[in-house]
């Protein structure tokens, strides 16, 4: 029996790399996509290192591409189908963040967030869907607590994650009788470079994190929990106590959630709220 196939976007670092390594450990054939060729090489090397005999004879495939470009997404899917002839799991992980008060933020920043976080998910899912349906596979969206609770100074990020979640929930409901599984995974604050590469109000990378990265959940822990949720065919995965509390409080006490969220963001180093 051939190995099941997983495709992962944004696989050059952080959660994407950890998801790929965990997939290799679990015996998957792994297709990777990211903009960074160097980062993809490092991820591939890590996958080969952990695969051992579990993936003997199985190839890894990487595609350098940008999820904001539909043609790149289509090429990524086609590369995988040429290599293995099937897709069992698609993990839409590629994403960027932002920090800036909306009144000061260029519209182009919000558009870039939507192009990456929302449209990247739509493009890859659209082109992979025929094979996923044929194999009763799984579509995963790596979302955020920001997809449940709008975050101040993250208007573009929250909007893109709300859109992603709405798309995936609709897709799930459409396919209740086809066997397609859809998972929305919300890691909460995770140790990664997403905050360093987050865009500021003018669209430049902020190159610093407002959080203590070494105190956050590890990307490896997120990857393991996500794969377990895929195996159990869960609808949602909300990680960290802070994340679970944020979703619950926002549902029951929205005014309190607004105040608590505002206060947290206001206390961040170099917060846009003075």
Cite the active site residues: 157
Q: Are the beta carbons of 169 and 143 closer than 8 angstroms?
A: no
Of 86, 92, 185, the residue nearest 136 (C-alpha) = 86
Strand partners for 18: none
Of 13, 19, 108, the residue nearest 68 (C-alpha) = 108
Ramachandran category for residue 240: left, alpha or beta (phi over 0 → left; psi -120 to 50 → alpha): left
- Look up tokens 């899912």; give the residue: 125
In whole angstroms, what is the distance from residue 79 CA to residue 9 CA?
13
Ramachandran category for residue 136: left, alpha or beta (phi over 0 → left; psi -120 to 50 → alpha): left
Q: Are the beta carbons of 238 and 117 closer than 8 angstroms?
A: no
In whole angstroms, what is the distance from residue 76 CA to residue 10 CA?
12
H/E stretch holding 82: helix 70-84
Count Cα neighbours of 239 within 13 Å in the Cβ-side half-sphere.
24
Q: Are the beta carbons of 139 and 92 closer than 8 angstroms?
A: yes
In whole angstroms, what is the distance from residue 53 CA to residue 224 CA?
20
């Amino acid at each position: 029996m051939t190995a099941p196939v997983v495709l992962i976007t944004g696989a050059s670092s952080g959660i994407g790399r950890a998801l790929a390594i965990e997939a290799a450990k679990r015996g998957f054939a792994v297709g990777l996509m990211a903009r960074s060729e160097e980062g993809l090489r490092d991820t591939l090397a890590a996958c080969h290192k952990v695969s051992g005999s579990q993936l003997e004879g199985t190839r890894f495939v990487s595609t350098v591409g940008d999820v904001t470009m539909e043609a790149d997404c289509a090429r990524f899917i086609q590369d995988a189908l040429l290599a293995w002839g099937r897709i069992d799991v698609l993990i839409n992980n590629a994403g960027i963040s932002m920090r800036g008060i909306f009144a000061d933020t260029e519209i182009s920043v919000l558009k870039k967030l939507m192009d990456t976080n929302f449209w990247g998910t739509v493009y890859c899912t659209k082109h992979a869907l025929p094979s996923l349906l044929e194999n009763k596979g799984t579509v995963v969206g790596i979302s955020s607590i920001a997809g449940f609770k709008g975050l101040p100074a993250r208007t573009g990020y929250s909007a893109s994650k709300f859109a992603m979640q709405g798309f995936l929930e609709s897709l799930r409901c459409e396919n209740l009788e086809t066997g397609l599984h859809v998972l929305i995974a919300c890691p909460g604050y995770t140790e990664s470079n997403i905050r360093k590469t987050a865009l500021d109000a003018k669209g430049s990378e902020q190159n610093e994190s407002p959080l203590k990265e070494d105190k956050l959940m590890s990307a490896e822990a997120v990857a393991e929990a996500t794969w377990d949720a895929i195996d159990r065919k869960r609808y949602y995965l909300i990680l960290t106590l802070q994340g679970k509390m944020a979703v619950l409080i926002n549902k029951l006490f929205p005014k309190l959630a607004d105040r608590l969220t505002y206060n947290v963001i206001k206390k961040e180093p170099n917060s846009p709220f003075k």
